[in-house]
Amino acid sequence: MRIHWLLFLLTAFLISCQSSTSPAKLKLPTIIGSHMVLQQHAEAAIWGWAEPGATIIVKGSWPSLPQQTTTSQSGRWEVGLPTPEAGGPFTIEVKEAENSILLEDVLIGEVWLGSGQSNMEWPVHQADQADQEIAAADFPEIRIFTVEKATADTPLEDAVGEWKVCKPTTIGDFSAVAYFFGRELHQELGYPVGLIASSWGGTPIQAWTNREALSHNPVIKASLDLDAILDELKPATLYNAMIAPLVPFTLTGVIWYQGEADTYRPIAYEELLPNMIRQWRKAWGQEFSFYFVQIAPFAYETPLSAAALRESQRKTLSLPRTGMAATMDIGNPDDIHPTNKQDVGKRLALWALAKDYGKDIVFSGPLFTAMELLPPNALNPVRLHFAHAEGGLVANGPLTHFELAGKDEVFYPAEAQLDANYVYLKSEKVPRPVAARYAFSNTAESNLFNQAGLPVSPFRTDDWPLLFTKPKIDLAYDRVKDRFRITIDFQDSLADIHYTLDGQKPNNLSPKYTERLSLSISQQIKAVAYKDGEQVSRIAEREILRHKGMQAEIINMTTPSKRYLGKGKYTLTNGLLGTTRFDTPEWLGFEGEDVDIVIDLGEPMKVDRISIRFLESQGAWIFLPKSLEIKGGLDPQNLSSLLHPMDMPVAQQKKASIVSYGHELEGKEVRYLSFHAQTLGTCPSWHQGAGGKAWLFLDEIIIY
**How far apart, in whole angstroms, are the C-alpha atoms of residue 72 and residue 682?**
51
User: What integer pLDDT is reported at residue 412 of this predicted model?
Assistant: 97
Q: What is the pLDDT of residues 144-180, one digit of tens each?
A: 999 999 999 999 999 999 999 999 999 999 999 999 9
> For residues 637 and 655, which has the higher predicted lDDT (pLDDT)?
637
More confident residue, 303 or 185: 185
What is the rounded average pLDDT of the residues 52-72?
96
Asked whether residue 653 carries a pLDDT value surpassing 90, the answer given is: no
Give the pLDDT of residue 228.
41
Residue 229 in this model has a pLDDT that exceeds 50: no
Instruction: Give the pLDDT score at 222.
Output: 59
On the question of pLDDT at 447 being above 60, the answer is yes
More confident: 170 or 24: 170
> Is the CB of residue 541 less than 8 Å from the CB of residue 471?
no
Task: Give the list of residues 6+ apart from residue 640 with CB closer than 8 angstroms, or none.
Answer: 631, 632, 633
pLDDT at residue number 550: 80
Is the per-residue pLDDT at 338 higher than 50?
Answer: yes
Chain mean position to CA 441:
19
The distance from CA 153 to its chain's CA centroid, rounded to whole angstroms, is 19
Q: What integer pLDDT is reported at residue 575 of this predicted model? A: 84
Query: How far is it, in rounded angstroms, from Cα 254 to Cα 618?
Result: 31
Check pLDDT > 80 for residue 219.
Answer: no
The mean pLDDT of 369-381, rounded to a whole number, is 89
What mean pLDDT comes out for the span 104-119? 97
Q: Look at residue 292 in the predicted model and tell me its pLDDT.
A: 98
Output 310 or 693, whichever has higher pLDDT.
Answer: 310
Top pLDDT among 282 and 523 is at: 282
**How big, in percent rounded to 5, are the helix, strand and coil portions of the chain?**
20, 35, 45
**What is the pLDDT averaged over residues 85-100?**
95
More confident residue, 561 or 327: 327
Tell me what the mean pLDDT of segment 288-292 comes to: 98
Closest CA to 146 of 101, 105, 183, 194: 194
For residue 650, pLDDT over 50 is answered with: yes
Q: Is the pLDDT of residue 39 over 90?
A: yes
Please state which of the ranges 235-249, 444-458, 647-661 shows the lowest mean pLDDT: 647-661
Mean pLDDT of 350-379: 95
Q: Is the pLDDT score of 701 beyond 50?
A: yes
* Average pLDDT in the chain: 90
Percent of the chain whose pLDDT exceeds 70: 94
Q: What is the pLDDT of residues 579-629, one digit of tens each?
A: 888 877 789 999 999 999 999 998 999 999 998 999 998 888 899 999 999
Alpha-carbon distance of 285 to 306, in angstroms, equals: 32
Q: Is the pLDDT of residue 271 over 60?
A: yes
| Mean pLDDT lowest among 12-16, 231-235, 347-351 | 12-16
Q: What mean pLDDT is predicted for residues 401-430?
A: 95
Half-sphere exposure of 356 toward its Cβ, with a 13 Å CA cutoff?
24
CA angle at 414 for the pair 409 and 418, rounded to the nearest 5°: 130
Task: For residue 202, name the pLDDT band (cuts at 50, 70, 90).
Answer: confident
Q: Which amino acid is at 579?
A: T
pLDDT for residue 227: 42
Torsion of CA 232, 622, 327, 286, to 10 degrees: 10
Is 496 or 568 the better-scoring residue by pLDDT?
A: 496
Choice between 401 and 265, residue whose per-residue pLDDT is larger: 401
What residue type is assigned to position 568 of the chain? G
- Give residues with Cβ within 8 angstroms of 196, minimum separation 6: 31, 111, 112, 113, 114, 145, 147, 246, 249
- According to the model, what pLDDT value does residue 460 have? 98
Tell me, what DSSP letter sits at residue 57?
A: E
Q: Which residue has the higher pLDDT, 564 or 452?
A: 452
Q: Tell me what pLDDT residue 24 has.
A: 58
With a pLDDT cut of 90, the percent of the chain lying above it is: 69
Is residue 663 within 8 A of residue 641, CB to CB? The reply is no
Q: At residue 8, does pLDDT exceed 70?
A: no
* 375 compared with 51, residue with greater pLDDT: 51
Average pLDDT over residues 621-650: 87
Q: What integer is the mean pLDDT of 528-532? A: 92
CA distance 657 to 261: 19
